[in-house]
Structure 1
């Protein structure tokens, strides 16, 4: 299974789209833990890969990740990553 932010230069068939969301709630004393986005992106990549496999795909192209920081009153704060991409099956 491969993930690519670009198109691939081999024959393929588009199978469909998948998306995945990962999030973490930060306590008041953890408000500046932005390096946790790396962990959330890895989690989202694993979810995307699993969903692409369930659709019978060989990989994902056009993969993108959106990050967001959501404040709820004073605390807690949520870090959210949404990933999405196009599932493809390589031509044999």
Structure 2
């Protein structure tokens, strides 16, 4: 299974689009732990790969990740990563 932010230079058929979200709640003493986005991106990539396999895809193209810090007035901060991409099947 491959994943790319660009197109592929091989014949392929578009199967569909998949998306995935990962999040983590930060405790009060962890409010500046933004390096945790790396962990969340890896988790999101694994979820995207699993969903692409369920669609019988060979890979994902046009993959993007959005990161966000969510502040909730009565709770700690959340770090959220949303990923999405196009599932493709390579031509044989």
Q: TM range, normalised to the smaller chain?
A: over 0.9
Is 1:80 the counterpart of 2:80? The answer is: yes
Q: Following the alignment from structure 2 to structure 1, what is the Cα–Cα distance between the partners of residues 36 and 75?
A: 17
Identify unmatched segments of 5+ residues in structure 1: none
* Counterpart in the other structure of 2:30: 30
CA RMSD of aligned residues (A): 0.8
Identify unmatched segments of 5+ residues in structure 2: none
Q: Following the alignment from structure 1 to structure 2, what is the Cα–Cα distance between the partners of residues 86 and 28?
A: 37
TM-score relative to the length of structure 2: 0.98
Number of aligned residues: 92
Q: Following the alignment from structure 1 to structure 2, what is the Cα–Cα distance between the partners of residues 74 and 5?
A: 37
* Deviation larger for 66-75 or 79-88: 66-75
TM-score relative to the length of structure 1: 0.98
Cα offset, 1:74, TM superposition: 6.0
Q: Deviations over 1:42-82 (max 9, x none)?
A: 00000000000000000000000000000112640000000
